[in-house]
Amino acid sequence: DIQMTQSPSSLSASVGDRVTITCRASQGISNYLAWFQQKPGKAPKSLIYAASSLQSGVPSKFSGSGSGTHFTLTISSLQPEDFATYYCQQYNAYPLTFGGGTKVEIK
């Protein structure tokens, strides 16, 4: 199975900050990497697919990059609605696997 490792597991940031989350795959997955946002008590929301493509309706403050084994999610200017847990997921091979999540909290 492909292991996905996210870092950090949590971070504290202020409104307006630029935030970057890293996701590493245990083997190369090309660009078959997605990012999801989840708020407490809610279903996940799809943000990014193919490592850097925004899902429909997702604001451009979210951006993704990377290929192979190293990926990043960047939020350009953190807003109150962005405080949530973010997950990466590889879909290069089954079983699909998720990273452990990064909780973004208010400083």
Partner 1 sequence: QVQLVESGGGVVQYGRSLRLSCGASGFTFSSHAMHWVRQAPGKGLEWVAVISNDGINKNYADSVKGRFTISRDNSKNTLYLQMNSLRLEDTAVYYCARLPGLIWFGLSIDYWGQGTLVSVS
| Site residues (vs partner 1, CB under 8 A) | 32, 34, 36, 38, 42-46, 49-50, 55-56, 87, 89, 91, 94-101
Q: Are 10 and 25 in contact, with CB atoms under 8 Å apart?
A: no
Residue 77 C-beta: closest distance to partner 1, Å: 25
For the CA atoms of 50, 96, 61, 15, the dihedral, rounded to the nearest 10 degrees, stands at -160
Question: By C-beta, is 25 or 97 nearer to partner 1?
Answer: 97
Q: Are 63 and 25 in contact, with CB atoms under 8 Å apart?
A: no
Question: By C-beta, is 55 or 67 nearer to partner 1?
Answer: 55
